[in-house]
Structure 1
Amino acid sequence: MNDTYGLPLILAAWLWKSHVNQCRLEKRLADLRHQNQRLSRMVASLPEPTFAIDNQSRVILWNAAMERLTGVPATAVLGKGDYEYAVPFHGEQRPIMVDLVNHWDDDIAARYSNLLRQDDLLVAETMTHTPHLDERYLRIVVGPLRDESERIIGAIESLQDITYRRISLKVLEGREELLRILVGHMPLAVAMCDRQMKYLYYNQRWISDLGLPDTDHIGRSHYDAMGSTLPDHWKPQHARCLNGETIESQAEPFTRADGRVEWLKRIMHPWRTSDGEVGGIIFLKEVITTLKKAETDLRLMEHVLQNSPVVLFRWLPAENWPMDYVSENVSLFGYSAEALISGEITYATLVHPDDRSRVAREVRQYATGGAHHFQQEYRILTQSGETRWVDDRTVIERDQEGRITHFIGVVIDITERKQAQQEIARRQMFLESLLHHAPDAIITLDDRNRVVDWNPGAQTLFGYTPAEAIGQSLADLVTQGDDELQSVIMQNFQTTISGTRVEPIETVRYHKNGRAVDVIAAGSPIIVDGVLTGVVVMYTDITALKLARTDYDMKRDYDFKQIRVQREYDPAVGPVPCEASKLQQVFLNILKNGAEAMAGVADEEHPPSFTLRVIDDGPWVRVEIENSGPGMNETIRRRIFEPFFTTKPVGEGTGLGLSVSYFIITENHGGTMDVRTSPNKGSCFIIQLPKAGKLS
């Protein structure tokens, strides 16, 4: 070099340009991080590196920003004491500034320059000396953690990296020191070589980013230092740069000596001597692996979000909640993100008018109550006017003064779940109604054969009230001391409680007054979440069936032997999976109703008759029971299967027989039940049962 001052001036000029370029790069990275933060604010990460300890100096908080600052994951320090939190900053376990909250120590306080007390906060600056933090200046704010009684239960420390601010102050103290500090602490790897590609200068980041040995490389060839890790296309680029060309590479992979692949952005600029000749190359390299990963993660997050059922809204705390961000998959509800963000449609107008005031009231309550997040369920209107139920999980964003700046809501369509819940509730109410009004005795037992539930049918059949029966042994209630019958009941109970169903059998049980009752008995285990919890027993009174077998009904004075029965059975029909006792109950109910109807109108010209048909109907077996009774008009036909609807006089019918029969066919067997009738032309009940049995 001809001019001894030329090199520093050139270096300063190029370093200043690299600093400007770095600011631009940092701005781009900041923009990307801002977009990423918008999607990740749902986890409510604190912006500043922050950690907290309890009164025993155990770590109770170590946020994501702290992980990024120290490189120490929260899982490695949470719950630990013995000043473990000091290691990332000072390289050893010892009391630090946060410990002054729980116990003041002048020696500890003396380690921090310009330590100030602001109310109950402590503020100071310090410098770290650990390899990971690379001599960073930190501004520290420490304060107490208090419980609801204002007692101090720990301490919290928040950090701010002020390295570049401190460096800027030192710049003012001397230009020569400025260059070394600025280059040495720049996030860019910087090196300067002569025309023989020998190092004249490099900073520490150049060594670490390229994975070079931490030895003195001044005067050493760049090619010798890089060895086999030097990509083949770099040497031709160096030659072009030595000929005066500035070369910039936006992003390319680089394999370090340890095998790790990093993404680099490179700038190579020729530096010139005082006489204008190219004296060598100034290298600026930036490791942008984190940036590349952030870009990839951001694209992945956006892809996942846009292809998921979850819609993200960000709305302002203003009238009608205008939006400044909506994920593109809001198209699930028929809207475009552009129309919503433009203000043409506000979030409040999406909410169903009947829910709008409730939603607004709840939002105010959460906001004024200091909540950080909340959950709501309400209806929204789609672009086409359809009503959909949504589950909204909202995070409240506040500024440093606690003022609300935004609401971020994660919304998912739960219409099908709501409809399923409503259907389950409807069916549960229907089943409970049937259980309460069913003519059968339905009894629930625990694992010791004691009565847990005793429905009205059981009270009617056996005479005991629920208060008398619950808690008692079923064998004691319905056997009247018959040891043999008690033994049978206990055997059946043991079979059922072991998980095996007891098929329906015709037997005898006893009424409270000692009267024998002919019943069909069946039992089934109760299994909840794979655990056997008890037994359900059903008793069906077959007194009417017994009377039918004798062909005489003493109550209505009709003689079954006088009813002509015509059978038309298709011989091709095979067995059908079913519950025989329940179908017997259905058929008996239809026959009994038909016999009663025909008893009032039959004469010599119109003798009572039943026509019984069994027909092969593809995947179904159709059963028809036709009578020659008076028939029904259309009004009665439409209501014949409704619970509690009856055409019998008061006191002679409950209106449940056909509704229970309808439930047995449709719900228990997956079939259909209908009636074909007209006045004075009889009635034909049509039952269809699936040959394959009820589908799950």
Structure 2
Amino acid sequence: DLSLLRKQTLSFFVFMFGILVMTLLCTQLLLRRRLRKSVVSPLRSLGTAMRQVNTETRNFKVPALKADEEIANLGRAFQELLERLNTSYRDLDDAHQALARSERRLSRAILASSDGIWEWSFDTGQAYFSPRWYEMLGYADQELPMSFQTWKDLCHPEDFLQVYPQIQDVVNSNGAKSYNSEFRMHTKYGDWRWILGRGDVIERDAAGKPLLLSGTHTDVTERRLAEERLRQSEEKFSQLFRLSPDAIVLLVVGSGRLVDVNESFTNISGYSREEALGRTLMDLSIYRNSGEREEIYRRLEHDGFLRDFEFEALHKDGSTVVSAMTCQTLELDGVPHLLAVLRDITQMKKLREVMIQSEKMRSVGGMAAGIAHEINNPLGIILQASYNLVRRTRPDFPKNNEIAQSIGLDMELMARYMRARKLDLFIADIQEAATRAAGIIRRMLDFSRLAESGRSQCDLGTIIEHSLTLARNDYDLKKFYDFKKMDLRVVVEEGLCKLPCTETEIEQVFLNILRNAAQAMAEVTPPVENPRLEIRAFGVGDRVRIEIEDNGPGMKADISRRIFEPFFTTKPPGQGTGLGLSVSYFIVTKGHGGTMDVESDPGRGTRFIIELPAENQRRE
């Protein structure tokens, strides 16, 4: 029984072991099938999908996985990754397209601007120059090595010393600055071209160290040449503006404010540039006559310009300057301005008047020589006949009495008859008129006889004193104008040199002026209460200036302009020949090479100004 029990027990254990083995085998098969279905197949599908991503990334979807939650989650995560990757690919494509468009636009812009492109790598030291970079210097593409040394060799040595420190400054600025400079580069043809170089550091490492410098070259030679021509033109016109003998004024239209004036403006106005700027011409009281000012504005408003308009300008010291104005409106920075040129024609006007006066004198002189000789003969007969008539009617002449008795004529009765009939006065009038006519003839002959004959070195003070003596003893002045009652002042500069002149002629000039001054002050209504006459003589450069000034009634401008014309007089007929001052003018200007002028205003007196040449200003 024990052996049977052992056999049964062994059989039981064998059976149970077999069942266990079968169970394990079945479990293994089930697990293997389950793993294949839940893990291996999904992973294989996922692997296949991953391999397909390389070619079918866009719009690729991972197939649905029938697997455990972890594997399914892995699939879903991979699908999300693919979707994000697809989105990135699409963004990258858009960026590539935008970059391509930008590159095309940049390329077209560079071609249109004709700029050369350059790059310089700090790591390798290599450089890049675009075809246009070479072309603007006359070289073919890559005809020269692409290196920093090439640029240095072509750059003008003087400019390189200025440009290279600027590049170093940009490199060391950590992106805070950009490089922008103009310099000259040597071309293949041997000339120099002006280049505008611009650039910046476009790459740096993590530490901020520069890696790549890039920029452009622009040929600005024509602009530099134009700027140089403009600079030379501006310098030329600036010099013309400063050195012009004419006054040039630039002012703002509307306000009239002076923007700029040149140095010659001071000569006309007396105001310095600093005094004039910011003020108006009215502030400076330039216009003497308001009517002339209004006429200037009227013409400018109507025509927009003015040419050679003559007007009287007031100097700062109160004197008058005859000016010719030419002006034109123009715009500067959109603001209307007026450019005016003022020319001092005072001396030119005087010279013109001298020439006109000389022509008149020459005409009168030629006419006087002929007329005088024609009139002198009958005038001499008239004078001689009047003198004979007076002599032969005098009762105290024995010859007259003898002849009168022979014919039975009483000389006393005849004398009484002549006085009763005023025949003696008629004869006196004839003699006076003939004498005056003879004086006119003498003055007319003076025009054709003025010369340097009899010229000698004369003391001006002596001439003045002699002229005053003649004036004091002049019959007409003593009889009608009481010359001695006039307040007379004579100031002759000490050490004044002697004048080479004809003394009698200069005395005649002074006497004519003194006579006219005395007559003007006596005949004005009411008469001048305290008549004063002042004579001043002093040296001015290589000339001697004599001023004879009175405090009489003065003259209007239209009279003073004609005062030296032959036969011009303001006196009633029979009281003046109109030759005194014209002869004086001719003596001074033609006979002695001097000048004679007059300044006068109504109610402010008259001043005659005479300048005579002198070889030496002062006595040694």
TM-score, normalising length: structure 2 = 0.42
TM-score (norm 1): 0.38
Higher helix share: 2
Flag the structure with larger Rg: 2
- Flag the structure with higher strand content: 1
